[in-house]
Structure 1
């Protein structure tokens, strides 16, 4: 008797708890809203490749953090003609997101929008609420700053 193999590919189950040895991804983007969206998209693909699957809470949180920090780099860290840099790194069960821009005089701060119904102004508040830790530091290889956030991706 012969069996008819299924025409659908078999997808291997991913481990329930990602355990990274060490992964690193860095890319520069032009300072435009379109590039901020591209940064979020590429970060999502990279995270999935590293074992943080699409649709998981950790994946959603990390891509939202990338989106907020990239949008901030484009809108608040913009220096005409200069790029921003996205860096993702994973070690153990922690993923760190870093976004570097070239505008060092506008430092990140957790503040409520000045007008209650104003759109925007809540990005860092959102990052601080979602990440396990966040902060910023002066850029070491030129003018500007790096804003970072880290998240432990172990399931609860």
Structure 2
């Protein structure tokens, strides 16, 4: 069955950078364990509160990072997960990278009505301005990223 959701965008370029005085960023690593999903969400929430990020958009950001970390834990053979958030006047970019040996990108799928899993990337696609997957280059793994728009938020 064909999905009505666009596939993940493969992007090997970084978004345009804002002036250094406007951009804020944070990075952290977590072990690839299910408990790391809540830890990633808490780290993101804390940093966004510190930056004065709107609470409602913060909930959306937490959903996105939860989905990406969960997928890295459950669907890759990685040991460590790296998270990076970048906030400028136009967008919040969330990146989650793994070290998995798989050579495939996560794809949204169509879950049946009685399935409890399988809708996370569909939600990300509906909530984010853009999202996609970037290769690590010569290293194994990938970076899954999403951008949430900031127009009128700050």
Q: Which runs of 5+ in 1 are unaligned?
A: 1-19
2:58 maps to 1:59: yes
Q: Which runs of 5+ in 2 are unaligned?
A: 1-20
2:89 equivalent in structure 1: 92
Q: Which structure has the bigger radius of gyration?
A: 1
Shift of 1:141: 6.4
2:148 maps to 1:151: yes
1:27 equivalent in structure 2: 28
Give the total of aligned pairs: 132
2:56 maps to 1:68: no
TM-score by length of structure 1 reads 0.78
Which residue of 115, 120, 125 maps to 1:118?
Answer: 115
1: CA distance between counterparts of 2:131 and 2:92? 12
- C-alpha spacing 1:117/1:58, structure 2 compared with 1 (3 Å): same
TM-score by length of structure 2 reads 0.79
Which residue of 93, 96, 104 maps to 1:106?
Answer: 104
CA RMSD of aligned residues (A): 1.7
